[in-house]
Structure 1
Amino acid sequence: MAACNGDTTASSPTPTPTAQAAAADGRPFAVEEVARFAEPWAMTFLPDGRLLVTEKAGTLKLYDPERDTRGDIGGVPEVAYGGQGGFGDVVLHPRFADNGTVYVSYAEAGDGGAGAAVARATLTLDGSGGGALENVEVIWRQVPKVSGQGHYGHRIAFDRDGMLWITSGERQKFDPAQDMQANLGKIIRLNDDGSVPADNPFADRGGVAAQIWSLGHRNPLGIVFDDDGRLWAPEMGPKGGDELNLVEKGVNYGYPIVSDGEHYDGRPIPDHSTNPDYRTPVISWTPVISPAGFIIYDGGQFPEWQGNGFIGGLSSQSLVRIAFDGDSAREAERFDMGTRIREVEQGPDGAIWLLEDGSRGGEGRLMRLTPPGAGATDAGADA
């Protein structure tokens, strides 16, 4: 069983096999180590193929996989680093090519403790392989800030209409997930400037309730839309009961009133099946997988996997493949990666890219998965 939500147990990086060895070990892909970062948390590809990588202590890196070079992006907001808190997600605006706008999430200190925040900024790159975030503007905050260093959530996504979506963990405080005066334990929907859309399900209530799309979540660390516009979010359960949810407007997913897991002190929590007022997860995992980064694949390198989801597993040290059928889903396959997988992204080349979790300040590897024999090399392995 994962401790808490899978984020609290450190693991030492294990050697990555060469591409040839990985292809021979029964997995349907070769694994290439590309680079290493200090406690990386998230990544996103720029249109030119370079990567923005967040490091949890508060650094944003610009990495060029082709040249194996990296630089710093300045102007990052000050982060509250500790426990699960620190620098989180980085996502491009859907019209990034025109406006150069990026969105970042991070843990922020303030009155009462800490909470997640999301800021938008203009990314300006220089000619030396670095750059800066300029015109940084905080457009969303968790309310209220509370003590503790866990369950920030703060994953970011955009839908095809350009709406901004944010996962907000319940900060290990349980009850705020059901409290409409708090935006903890919720999935948030906003306009790209942080304002509230008039058609949000609770917009007429005003305040933070107006931001809420769905409630009763624990710690969602992935969020993605499929080709039909459905929103899917995996979240960490307590002791047992990790979930994959189909997220729908105004729906209550039940935590902490119901869960397919139990409290860590052994107190039971009624299962979802005991109360029809709360939505049952599409997939529930016990033992847990400790789900983190999440994509739905549409690339060309693995055509047999187009339309499948891939979830990074922390305590399970795995990459979990999800097969979808409309509103239903199932775990189709699980690949043992031998290490905690924090982030999953699809590269512009159609490869699947992973970030190894760098728990407690350790290094985490950037890895590239390609079909066996596709020509992967060990370039950058010593970075």
Structure 2
Amino acid sequence: MSRSSNPVRAWHAWAVAAWLLCCAGVALGETRDYRVETVADGLDHPWSLAFLPDGRMLVTERPGRLRVIERDDANALVVRPAPVDGLPPVLAMGQAGLFDVMVDPGFADTGLLYLSFAHGTPDANHLRVVRARFDGTRLHAVTPIFTSQPAKQAGQHFGGRLALLGDGTLVTAVGDGNLERTDAQRLHTHLGKTIRVQTDGRVPRDNPFVGREGALPEIYSSGHRNPQAMVRVGDVLYSNEHGAKGGDELNAIVAGANYGWPITTDGVDYTGARVTPYRSWPGITDPLTHWTPSIAPSGMAWYDAALFPQWRGSLFVSALAERSVRRVPMAGGTPGTQQILFRELGERIRDVRTGPDGALYLLTDSADGRVLRVVPAR
């Protein structure tokens, strides 16, 4: 019998791996009390998912298309063949493209939604956020409400996730651009920052750097590398972001706080070189938790629905490199023992959302991407 086929040795290896994961605060998600259904397929690198009040869904495709998922005459969910008309030009290359879609809370009356995307040219590009009215087929009155400054080169580290705070202001996360990482610490640029504006683009008077000489007034927090998700839970705004080789972070965003990049990080550069000798520093807000080695976090959702009572009170963080979703139970703002879910799919997971039906929805990141729905096994 070969070494690899020895069942005793195989069990021992599994037990050791499980013990190491549990010691690291991770629980294996082997007991599958759920099933995964395909809602839609054939999507080109879907990036974000949003739910409309009438049961339809909106999905962004990174190359620059907004798709509608709706029920056909047989009451089956299908992707409408034609994409939504009226989208502004999107720069699609590398990591650049169409990013988040967020439905306004008053959509049933206003038809308003928000989109983020890469705007400009390969040599001079920005993260742009627009507001538009959607009539079911086409976007109207597309209005830019934020464009990152200054222009940057290349197609990396845009950020782009959107969220609304409790006061109705809009926040978006902007990456550092990956060319001059120290811009994340400089207040004359939007790169590496969380931005807060009114939904019409005006700057709130109580933003933390309003009136500070040399600082852009839209800045809400600083020191971010490549933020990938934001979700508000009560009064707390949670964000995750890519580190380099390790040092992925889960943060609670506070107005005016500095989250350290590149002064502090738990990761190293892709070459193996140290970015900095510091994991913590006075005046820097440490992450709630970090993932080292990197899992490449992407989307994030808060789950507090009745369909899966055992998952209530948890953040769900989708992961590209780990091809999983991390369930992070939260108690008093503190992360508990994590559970690794959905690795059996073997898919890079770009986004995770809690649906109005209490199910969990996943987007797979590929040229033949899918929308998946997670429901109880029975």
Instruction: Find the partner of 1:69 among 68, 78, 82.
Output: 78
Using a 3 Å threshold, how does the CA distance of structure 1 residues 215 and 258 change in structure 2: closer, same or farther? Answer: same
Using a 3 Å threshold, how does the CA distance of structure 1 residues 200 and 283 change in structure 2: closer, same or farther? Answer: same
Shift of 1:264: 1.7
- Alignment partner of 1:145: what SS? coil
Using a 3 Å threshold, how does the CA distance of structure 1 residues 110 and 82 change in structure 2: closer, same or farther? Answer: closer
CA distance in 2, matches of 1:115, 1:158: 21
Q: Deviations over 1:91-114 (max 9, x none)?
A: 011211221110001101149421
Matched, 1:177 2:184: yes
- Alignment partner of 2:336: what SS? strand
Using a 3 Å threshold, how does the CA distance of structure 1 residues 67 and 274 change in structure 2: closer, same or farther? Answer: closer
Using a 3 Å threshold, how does the CA distance of structure 1 residues 269 and 342 change in structure 2: closer, same or farther? Answer: same
Which structure has the greater CA radius of gyration? 2
Q: Which moved more, 1:231-240 or 1:199-208?
A: 199-208
**Structure 1 segments unaligned to the other structure (5+ residues):** 1-23, 126-130, 374-383
- Alignment partner of 2:217: what SS? helix
Q: Deviations over 1:264-317 (max 9, x none)?
A: 222213355442221111101111111111011122211222221101000000
CA contact (8 A) 2:227 2:240 kept: yes
* Counterpart position of 2:194: 187
- Alignment partner of 1:91: what SS? strand
Shift of 1:347: 1.1
Q: What residue identity is the alignment partner of 2:135? A: T
CA contact (8 A) 2:324 2:348 kept: yes
Shift of 1:150: 0.8
Matched, 1:345 2:353: yes
Q: Which moved more, 1:270-279 or 1:37-46?
A: 270-279
Report the TM-score when normalising by structure 1: 0.86
CA distance in 2, matches of 1:48, 1:98: 12
**Structure 2 segments unaligned to the other structure (5+ residues):** 1-28
Instruction: Find the partner of 1:34 among 17, 30, 39.
Output: 39
CA distance in 2, matches of 1:101, 1:137: 11
Q: Deviations over 1:179-218 (max 9, x none)?
A: 1110010011111111110001001137862111110000
CA contact (8 A) 2:325 2:340 kept: yes
* Counterpart position of 1:118: 129
CA distance in 2, matches of 1:99, 1:110: 32
* Counterpart position of 1:225: 232
* Counterpart position of 2:375: 370
Q: Deviations over 1:234-287 (max 9, x none)?
A: 100011110001111101011011111111222213355442221111101111
* Counterpart position of 2:255: 249
CA distance in 1, matches of 2:243, 2:300: 16
Structure 1 stretches (4+) deviating beyond 6 angstroms?
none
Q: Which moved more, 1:60-69 or 1:294-303?
A: 60-69
Q: Which moved more, 1:308-317 or 1:199-208?
A: 199-208
CA distance in 1, matches of 2:119, 2:32: 40
Using a 3 Å threshold, how does the CA distance of structure 1 residues 301 and 271 change in structure 2: closer, same or farther? Answer: farther
Identity of aligned residues (%): 38
Instruction: Find the partner of 1:101 among 109, 112, 122.
Output: 112
CA contact (8 A) 1:242 1:290 kept: yes
Matched, 1:149 2:155: yes
- Alignment partner of 1:292: what SS? strand
- Alignment partner of 1:203: what SS? coil
Matched, 1:280 2:286: yes
Using a 3 Å threshold, how does the CA distance of structure 1 residues 236 and 111 change in structure 2: closer, same or farther? Answer: closer
Larger RCO (CA under 8 A, 6+ residues apart): 1
RMSD of Structure 2 on Structure 1 (CA): 1.7
Q: What residue identity is the alignment partner of 1:198? A: R
Matched, 1:54 2:63: no
Q: Deviations over 1:150-199 (max 9, x none)?
A: 11001001122211010101111211111111001001111111111000
Using a 3 Å threshold, how does the CA distance of structure 1 residues 178 and 78 change in structure 2: closer, same or farther? Answer: same
* Counterpart position of 2:328: 322
CA contact (8 A) 2:280 2:286 kept: no
CA distance in 1, matches of 2:84, 2:282: 48
CA distance in 1, matches of 2:289, 2:277: 13
Q: What residue identity is the alignment partner of 2:109? A: D
CA distance in 2, matches of 1:208, 1:70: 44
Report the TM-score when normalising by structure 2: 0.87
- Alignment partner of 2:184: what SS? helix
CA contact (8 A) 1:94 1:162 kept: no
